[in-house]
Amino acid sequence: MILLNIVIIDNWPDFTAERLSRLKKLGKVTWNKVQMLPQEKFLELAKDAGILMTSHYAVSKITREMLDKMPKLKMIAQLATGYDYLDLKAATAKGIIVSNVPGYGDSSVAEHALGLMLALSKKIMNGMCQMRIQGKYDFRENKGFELNGKTLGLVGYGHTGRALGVIAKGLGMRVMAYDKRITSEVEYADFETVLKQCDVISLHVPLTDETRNMFSMKEFNKMKKNAIIINTARAPIVNQDDLYKALKEGIIGGYAGDLVIEPFNAKDPLLQLHNVVFTPHIAWYTNEAVSRLTEIAVRNVEAFAEKNPMNVVNKQ
């Protein structure tokens, strides 16, 4: 086995004693329980790492210049599925293996997406805020709509989209999906059809140059007037300025997101609208998902040490 200096930089993962013990069998382990460091502070902790275990919760970007200052780095073991904060091309060019943790939160995120759908369609947050903040107890301002019989459009049909589709069918919804991959288990439609026909559109695509601002005023204008968007993917997939205008002017019916554009701004005008629901990036954050994530991340490091890396996202 390869014995390397393993540096963990993140304050949220719940590594059990057993999993930390397994890492310590592979080399020295330093766990820095910190969050959102400036790049120079992050580098101070990571500069001598042979294996770096981290995620976008620890630093906003890992750039080519930062990787140049980590000369001993052989592997980045992502404590997440997404890696859009990391210069993957630079890591690949430097021979650094990058692994991720796919599928650990499929059920958690799909269930959260359902919760957001229900919160919007049943005006749950509006009713709660009226009682708690305004001291009002009045049903007349909170007429919702049933999901049964409505059409759900899944933009992206990976593991999470598939899991949500199963739940939605159980509610009596028609489910269609837009994805580059074709499968017979769901009704496939092009993007235009999803925009025009769906009552609910749920986003399950990664953030890439292609998907950034995938939803802007052009797309909102093609949607049903009362349609709602559920976003448990990444906030920049939806153009935030256009979203505010579309919601304010009633071009679409509502929006629910599990995250906002970072850094968080409590005075963001989107948060002041009545037809939105936001949560602080907690869709994945369940006991079960965190346990699966840390287990798979440890296995990724063990597999690398055994010279048989797994879940590699930048195969050399």
CA distance 128 to 137: 9
DSSP tally for the chain: helices H, then strands E: 11, 12
User: Is 262 marked active-site?
Assistant: yes
Nearest to 23 by CA among 45, 49, 41: 49
Catalytic residue among 44, 192, 262, 306: 262
Site of tokens 């009596």: 172
For residue 277, CA distances in Å to 58, 124, 207, 235, 239 come to 26, 9, 21, 13, 16
Tell me the C-alpha distance between 173 and 40, whole Å: 50
Residue (of 98, 125, 116) closest to 233 by Cα position = 116
- Tell me which amino acid residue 174 is: R
CA distances to 22, 23, 64, 75, 94 from 99, rounded to whole Å, are: 18, 16, 17, 8, 15
DSSP 37: B
Cis peptide, bond prior to residue 263, ω within 30 of zero: yes
Cα separation values, 37 from 49, 80, 141, Å: 17, 17, 44
* 204 catalytic per annotation: no
Known catalytic residue at 281 = yes
Q: How many CA atoms lie within 13 A of 156 on its CB side?
A: 22
**112, 162, 281, 292: which is the annotated catalytic residue?**
281
Helix boundaries (H) for the chain:
17-24, 39-46, 64-68, 88-93, 106-121, 124-129, 159-170, 191-197, 217-220, 240-248, 287-305
List the catalytic residue out of 162, 204, 234, 292: 234
What six digits make up the tokens of 220? 């909102």
Any idea which residues carry the catalytic annotation? Answer: 234, 262, 281
